[in-house]
């Protein structure tokens, strides 16, 4: 009955385990380390998706935004970032908004920063996490005040990123394992960047036209 109640409430698997523990039962959903042999098919699938998304950047992160994997095109995003922000564990949200991270290259930084923080706040309301509490406290300090006038395309919030070849305009999609019954797997997110115009698509295609390592 507890499991059915948790399903009806659409609780994340981690919270379902906590509910079971509070009721005196053992957790029903395993939390398998990502490097475990049992998740080898998952790692292979993620590699295929990351590779297939090139020449556009894509990353896999955990629930708190720590980087799990990235394709070679992600170096377009990290160009010029301070070395210490790329030391493991890398947090992609800190990387995006930190003054020594990607932030100085983001044309619409105020809008993009607010978008990231609001999304994380919504995630944290649905599934509270102490790591996200600490991260949000830090990230809010990086969000500048801005006008409430919308700069959105109408269907998504773009990030406009300066590069050596011009301004890249990108939107993101997020993919999750919708039928996961393992906590680790359920909390993975694959965030993929897509160009919103032909100029951006051409720049990214040129960037990846040379041979590059596939899995930085």
Domains of the chain: residue spans and CATH: 1-30 (no CATH), 31-207 (3.30.450.180)
Q: What share of the chain is helix, strand, coil (3-state, %, to 5)?
A: 45, 15, 40
Cα–Cα distance for residue pair 104/102, rounded to 1 Å: 6
Cα–Cα distance for residue pair 69/64, rounded to 1 Å: 14
Beta-carbon contacts of residue 163 (< 8 Å; ≥ 6 apart): 76, 79, 105, 203
Cα–Cα distance for residue pair 2/32, rounded to 1 Å: 22
Tens of pLDDT along the chain (216 residues) come to 999 999 999 888 999 999 999 999 999 999 999 999 999 999 999 999 999 999 999 999 999 999 999 999 999 999 999 999 999 999 999 999 999 999 999 999 988 998 899 989 998 888 888 889 999 999 999 987 654 444 444 446 789 999 999 999 999 999 998 889 999 999 999 999 999 999 999 999 987 665 454 555
Specify the pTM.
0.84
């Amino acid at each position: 009955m507890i499991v059915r109640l948790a399903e009806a409430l659409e609780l994340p698997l981690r919270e379902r385990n906590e509910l079971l523990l509070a009721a005196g039962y053992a957790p029903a959903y395993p939390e398998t380390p990502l490097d475990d042999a049992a998740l080898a098919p998952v790692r292979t699938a993620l590699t295929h998706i990351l590779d297939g998304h090139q020449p556009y950047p894509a990353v896999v992160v955990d629930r708190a935004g720590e980087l799990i994997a990235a394709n070679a095109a992600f170096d377009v995003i990290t160009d010029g970032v301070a070395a210490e922000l790329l030391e493991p564990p890398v947090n992609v949200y800190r990387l995006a908004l930190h003054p020594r991270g990607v932030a100085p290259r983001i044309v619409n930084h105020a809008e993009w920063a607010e978008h990231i923080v609001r999304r994380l706040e919504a995630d944290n309301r649905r599934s509270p996490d102490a790591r996200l509490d600490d991260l949000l406290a830090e990230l809010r300090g990086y969000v500048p005040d801005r006008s409430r006038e919308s700069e959105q395309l109408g269907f998504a919030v773009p990030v406009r990123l300066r590069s050596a070849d011009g301004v890249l305009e990108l939107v993101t999609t997020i993919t999750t394992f919708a039928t996961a019954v393992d906590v680790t797997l359920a909390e993975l997110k694959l965030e993929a960047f897509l160009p919103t115009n032909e100029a951006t698509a051409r720049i990214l295609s040129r960037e990846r036209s040379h041979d590059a390592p596939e899995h930085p």
